[in-house]
Structure 1
Amino acid sequence: MREVVVLFAHAAPQRSRVNRRLAEAARSVPGVELVDLYGTYPDFYIDVAAEQDNLADASALVFLQPIQWYGMPALLKEWVDMVLVPGWAYGAGASALQGKGFWLVASTGSPLDAYAPGATHGYPFEAFLPPYRQIAALCGMDWIDPHILHAAHRVSDEALDAHVDAFTARLTALASA
């Protein structure tokens, strides 16, 4: 049984300072399967049956991604649209994801203080999380507090190391639960 499925969604991982490191860390955690969406589905043609089968044995689902224009990367959105369908993920008779954990692990380009009334983004960062929370709620999944790194391009190497270490520890605990 796979304990945790991590969906890694970054269109240009070679340019990613943070998400690439997190994906590499996830690959090293026992009980974790990393699915590189852009590497697996460069044509955006998602093998729905395979993805659903993969999730059937998982205890948790992790979205590992940058926040782009206040949401998820295009291929991750396509994955959600194609894989999390009524009758399987939610709705009458659907129980495939109920009780599984849902964890958002993401990075932003802006510092946290840019997410405030009167600041660049006008709202607290939490205001951009409802689509993720609703995915978890609609599918009967348990929301796990997100692991977010703001100002990803500008954090020190030490701060990045600490962020990756915290992610690895939490992912290890999730996979061991």
Structure 2
Amino acid sequence: MFALPPILYSIPRNPITAVGLPVFFGMLSGSPTSKEVQGTWYKSLKFPPGRVPDQVFPVMWAILYTGMGYASYVALKSYDSATISETAASNISKGLAIYYGQLALNCGWSSLFFVKKRVGLALLDSIAITASSACMTVLFHKATDGATTYFLAPYCAWLCYATYINASVWYLNRGRKVTGED
């Protein structure tokens, strides 16, 4: 059976740390964003139709990080169940490994897009986050009889939307000379 280091199982066993971890890292990775969206570079970008106002993003991410964290807690409650099958336990372990990986990718996205102004690399990162989160959702879904899906499906949908925005910004602004400075 696939297994992670014990500490990576311990964090989601407590609902406070399960939710706190992604919310903390989300806030940390998003902290430079508020300054950057006021800068010349960001304000000069062309955006696609259907983009929500900038103020919606931090609220949505906070809600989605909370749901993602709680889903990890629900998955670990199932993992710790005496009646869980070996296949379900393995799916949860694999799902948790992907969970931590996609969380790390998600933390890097803001730096790539806003700080380094590497929209194309941010797009690749966004695609990886979306794909890994979909895989994690499927693994958790199978192992928890869908209990985690209520918390992860909105996250996956938002990631698809965020990837659309990122891809559109990349496409609409391709060929534009970016120095990385405002």
Q: TM-score, with normalisation over the residues of structure 2?
A: 0.25
Which structure has more RCO (C-alpha within 8 Å, separation ≥ 6)?
2
User: Which one has the bigger helix percentage?
Assistant: 2
Greater C-alpha radius of gyration: 2
| Higher share of residues assigned strand | 1
TM-score normalised to structure 1 length: 0.25
